[in-house]
Structure 1
Amino acid sequence: MKLRIEECCRRLPVRTRLVIVMTGMGLLVLLLAGVAFWQSSQAVVEQLTRDRMETIERAIRKDLVAALLDDRVENIARINRLLGSFEDVEQARVYDAEGRVRFGYVREGVSASTVQFDPARVGEIDIERGSAIGWRRLTYRERPFGYLVIRFSLARQLAYLERFRWLLFLLLPALFLISLLVAVRLQRAFSAPIEELAGTFRRVQDEGDYSIRLSTRERNEIGTLYEGFNAMLGMMSETRDALAETGSRLQAILASIRDSILVTDCEGRIRYANPAALEFLDRDLSELTDRQVKDVLHLRTGEGEDVTGRLLSEVLEHQRPVSGSEEILFLELDGRQCPVSLSAAPVVQEDRPTGAVLVLRDMHECWSLARELSWQARHDSLTGLINRAEFERQLDLALENVRPSSPHVLLYLDLDQFKVVNDTCGHLAGDDLLRQLASILDKKLRDEDLFARLGGDEFAVLLQSCDLRTAWDIAERLRSAVSKFRFVWDRHTFDLAVSIGMVVIDSPEMTRRDVLAAADMACYAAKDSGRNRIHLYQGSQADSQRHYGEVQWVSRIVQALEKDRFELFMQRIARTVAADERDDALHFEVLVRMRDESGNLIPPGSFLPAAERFGSAPGIDRWVLWHVLERLASWPQDGFAMCAINLSGHTVADPAFLEYVKEAIGTFGVPADRLCFEITETVAVSDLARAREFIEACRDMGCRFALDDFGSGMSSFGYLKNLPVDFLKIDGMFVRDLVNDRIDEAMVRSINEIGHVMGMQTIAEFVETPMTRERLVRMGVDWVQGHAIHVPEPLPSRPGGRVILWPGRRPIP
Structure 2
Amino acid sequence: MDDEIDRGHARALRRLPGRAYWLIGLVALGMLGAWLVLEIQASVTAYVNAEGLWSKMQKQSVLAMYRYSGSGDPRDLAEARQTLRTPLEDLALRQALDRDPPDLEAAYRHVRAAGNRPEDHDRLIWVYRLLADAPYLRDSVRAWRRTDADLRTQAGIADELEARWRRGTPDADEIAAYRSRLYEINARIYPLTVEFSDSLARGAAAIRRLLLLSSAVAFALLAWYSLRVMQHTLRHVRETEAEFRMAFHQAAVGMLKLAPDGRIVQANEALAKLLGTSLAELRDMRVQDMVPAEDLDRTADGADWQQWLQSGERRLLTRDGRVRWVRWTASPLARPGASADRIFVLLEDVSDAHAMAREIAHQATHDELTGLINRREIGRRLGEGLAQARRGDIVHTLAFIDVDRFKLVNDTCGHAVGDRFLRRFVNLLSEQLQGGDWLGRLGGDEFAVFLHGADLGHGLRTMEEIHGLLSRTSFRWDGREMPFHCSVGLVEVNASAADVEWLLSAADAACYLAKEEGRNRVRAYSDANRALARRRYDLDWVTSAQAAIAERRLLMYAQKIVPLHAPEAGLRYEVLVRMRGMDGVLHPPGEFLMAMERFGQATAVDGHVLDAVLGEFDRHPGHLQRLASCHVNISAQSIADPAFLARVTERLDRRPAVASRLCFELTETAMIGNLADARRFIDAVRERGCRVALDDFGSGLSSFAYLKDLPVDIVKIDSAFVRDIGKGGSDLAMVRSMAQVARALGKETIAEGIESAETPPRLARIGIDFAQGYALHEPCPLEELIRQAGAGGEAWPIMQA
Q: TM-score range by the shorter chain?
A: 0.3 to 0.5
Q: Higher Cα Rg: structure 1 or 2?
A: 1
Q: From the two aligned structures, give the one with the greater helix fraction.
A: 2
With normalisation by structure 2, the TM-score equals 0.47
Q: From the two aligned structures, give the one with the greater strand fraction.
A: 1
With normalisation by structure 1, the TM-score equals 0.46
